[in-house]
Chains A and B, each alone.
Chain A
C-alpha cells in the first residue's frame, strides 16, 4: 500500500455536505481579518478533506451562552458575507436565541425569508423543552427549513440551557411537522440514540466528539441510515477526522452516501 493510495482511501469518492460548521472567528486559533478571509481558509481546509458544501452558522465572535438579539444579527450578517464569497459552497444557517422568541422570529424572517438562509441554529441559551422555542419552531415549519439543535449528555451535567437528547425528543413531539437536526451523535451517545427511536422528524448529525468506534453502526441499526447526516463541528474538530468517522465505519457504501450527501439534500430541500 503506497502513501498516495492511503491518502486516497481517506477521501470520499463522491460529494459531501457538512451540516455543522462554524466560522473561524468563533473557535480555534485562526484569527481571520474578515468574513471573506474566513470563508477562503475554511473552504480550503474543507476541500482538503473532500467536503463539497457546508452549512455554516456563527455563534457570535465571543460565543456567549446568552446572546442578545443584536449579537445574533451580527453573527448572521457575518455568515451572509461568507456566503457571498462562495455561494455554491457555503449554506448559511440563521442563529437565534429562544430567550427572545419574538426577536428570533423577526430575525428568521430577515435571514430565511429575505436572504435565503436554509436552516435555523439553536445553541445553549434555552433547553429544547422550553416553550420559548415554540414560536421559532412554527416559523421553521412555515418556511420549511430544519432547526439544528445542539445537544449533549455530559457526565458532569449539562449547562443550564444546554439540551439533552430527551429535551430534543420533547421538542420533536411538540412539533411533529418540524424537521429537527439534533447535533453531536458522539456527544449524546447510545442514550441519545434511544431517545430518538420513535421520532421520524429528527435526524442526528455526526459532528463533534471523538472518533469513537462502533457508535455510527448502532445509530444506523436503531434509527436507520436516512436519519443520520454528516457534520464536523469544524474548526473545533478536524474535517478529515470527522469525515473518516463515516468512511471508516463498518457500514454499507450506500449508507455512507446517504449520510454524507443525500440525507442533507433531502432535509434542506435542495437538489445539488
Chain B
C-alpha cells in the first residue's frame, strides 16, 4: 500500500538493540502497510568506503519490492561503478559523514542527470543533541543542496532528514522547484506536514520512515493523523510511485 523512500539496513554505533538485517526490517515495515522500500546501508556513513558497505543492500535482490539505494562518495574513483549498478533508481549522498563537499560531486550530478537517477542528500541522521560527544556531525547546509538544484535543473533531488523549521524556511524555494522533494522522516511538530501541504507542497512530500533508526508507526502517524485519505495517499505512495515509475 505505501512506499518508503528512506529506510536503512545495517548497524548504527551505540544502538545494538534495533534490527539490522533486511528481513526483520521488511517485516516491521510491512506491519504498517509499507510494501515497497528504498533501502540504504546504515554502515555506510561511518565506513572508510561506503561503496564497500553497500554490499548489504544488494542482498535485497533476494526480496520482492526492496530497491537498493547505494551511498556514494564522489571523491572515491569507484563511484561510477556504484552508479551503474543495475536497477538503481535513487542514490544517497551523506557529505557530512563521508567528508566531502557537494561541489566535489559535479561529475556525479552530470551523470545522474543524464541517466535519470534521483539523488537523495541526507541532511541529518539523528538529532545533533543526541550525537556521541566525540562524534558530532553537523547537518548538511541546505543552501549547498539548493545550489546544486540551481546548477543542475534537470536533476531530481530528495532532501532526506530535513527538520520542520528548515522545511518551513524552504517553502518559497521548493514551490519554485517542483523537482525537489522532501522526505517526511524528521518533519515533527504539531500539524507540520499539514501546514506544508497547505503551503502548496503536497506533490513534493515523500514518506520516509528512517527505520530502523526511528519507529515506523510514529512516522506514519504524522501523515495519517492529520490528512484526508487522498492527500495522505499522495504522500505515502502516489508521489513516490510517479517519481520512481513504480
Contacts and interface: CB of A to CB of B under 8 A. Distances in A.
Contact of B33 (A6, A240, A247): A6
Contacts, number: 127
Interface residues of B, number: 42
A3 interface: yes
A174 interface: no
A108 interface: no
Contacts of A1: 1, 33
A244 B132 contact: no
A49 B219 CA distance: 13
B189 A156 contact: no
Interface string B192-224: 100100000000000000011111111111101
Give the bracket for the number of chain A residues in contact with chain B.
35 or more
Most chain-A Cβ atoms within 10 A of its Cβ — which of B188, B192, B213, B229? B188
B220 A10 contact: yes
Contacts of B214: 210-213
Interface of B is mostly: loop
Contact of B17 (A154, A156, A217): A217
Most chain-A Cβ atoms within 10 A of its Cβ — which of B127, B128, B190? B190
B129 A248 contact: no
A3 B229 contact: yes
A197 interface: no
A8 to B, nearest CB: 10
A224 to B, nearest CB: 17
Interface of B: 1, 15, 17-19, 32-33, 126-133, 136, 168, 186, 188-192, 195, 211-222, 224-226, 229, 232-233
Query: Which 7 A-B residue pairs are closest in the complex by CB-CB distance?
Result: A248-B217, A211-B218, A240-B221, A240-B225, A235-B190, A244-B217, A244-B218
